[in-house]
Amino acid sequence: MKTIIKNCKLVSPGIEAENVSIVIENDKIKTVHDGKECGTEKFDKVVDGTGLTAVPGFIDIHCHGSNGADVMDCTPDAIGKIAKAKIEDGVTSFCPTTLTASQSDLVKAAVAVKTYEKKQMYARSLGLHLEGPFVNPKFKGAQNPKYIRKPNINEVKEIDGITKVAIVSFAPEMEGGLDLVRELKKLNIVSSCAHSGATFAEFIAAKECGLKQLTHFCNQMSHLHHRELGLVGAGLLDDKIMVEIICDYIHLSANMLKLIFKNKTLDTIMLITDSMSATSLKDENYKLGKLDVVVKDSVARLSSNGAIAGSTLRYFVGLKNIHETTGLKLKDIIRTTSLNQAQSLGLQNLGKIERGYIADIVLLDKKFVPQNVFVSGKMVK
């Protein structure tokens, strides 16, 4: 199968070019050339990209749900429904993300993800993101306190034996936390700090053991203080730690987003949605796992205490917000939507529009809304 996307604008990490054509052969990008250089090649599919911008497919590594479905529904249909909704947002790969729950429910979620992965009809699953259950109760946020427990590598191994675990988000300062970081490193699973009250010293200790990321940066973590940097200060000071950011102006204000982009290098920032089931739907009552959530003015909060409960952010809106807020060029910030995530997960040939890379491509209009989406060279929108 050979496809050509003609006459589009191209934006890939560090590259911006007008009037470009992209040739796709099977699942890979074969060539990228001037839009007028089509030659005599024959194509099975020709896509006119006039007026559109081609960018690498977005990678959302933190996603609980969308369009009425939640990963903790624990059904293949729910995972498929989320994956289909993600395609509409320009997300070509994602990490279905769990919540603090019983081990039996986490196993059920893993089985559901594995069943979806055998078909992969829409966005590609890159493996589970376990958010919790090994979190600090004082920073639980919208995590269910009933199921919070001490770090246990055997629970992770059981789930990883069903389907790949890509990321575990937890509080490394809890008893056994550093041992968990070490064990996850052995399994090539990314350790990320979440729902944590770790001090700066505890952050350093965890990083020395292999901690790589900070989950939904600034939210439900120890704050910056002039005598104790905490995790927020650690994220701003450390030039290697990766940070997830939710660019919805709710989890992070516009000025905080500016501060992050001013102090962090662009290769350490990863845009996420932390989306929950209400994403793309109207304001009303929903569930986040087994917890009741009220969505008002597109802000999701727990019914019980008003804590923010994930987001209703659509991925392309987050990119648009960053572009408008920071004033940075799209060719520079586009790595925060795909390439950084791929590199963090140790994935090759994802996150760029270049020869030899997997043909995950999104065509955006001038308002950043996805018009066409390609996954492994197949146009799925």
Residues belonging to the active site: 274
| 195 within 8 A of 140, measured Cβ to Cβ | yes
| 278 within 8 A of 248, measured Cβ to Cβ | no
Q: How far is residue 245's CA from residue 281's CA, in Å, rounded to a whole number?
A: 22
Give, rounded to a whole angstrom, the gap between the first and last alpha carbons of the chain: 17
In sequence order, what are the beta bridge partners of 288? 291
Q: How many helices (H) and strands (E) does the chain have?
A: 10, 22
* Cis status, amide bond into 96, omega within 30 of 0: no
**∠ CA(19), CA(356), CA(84), 5° rounding?**
80
Report in angstroms the alpha-carbon separations of 26 from 1, 29, 123, 223, 375. 5, 8, 17, 48, 11
- Write the burial class of residue 114 (CB in 10 Å: 0-12 exposed, 13-18 middle, 19+ buried): middle
Identify the helix (H) or strand (E) that includes residue 120: none
* 3-state SS, residue 123: coil
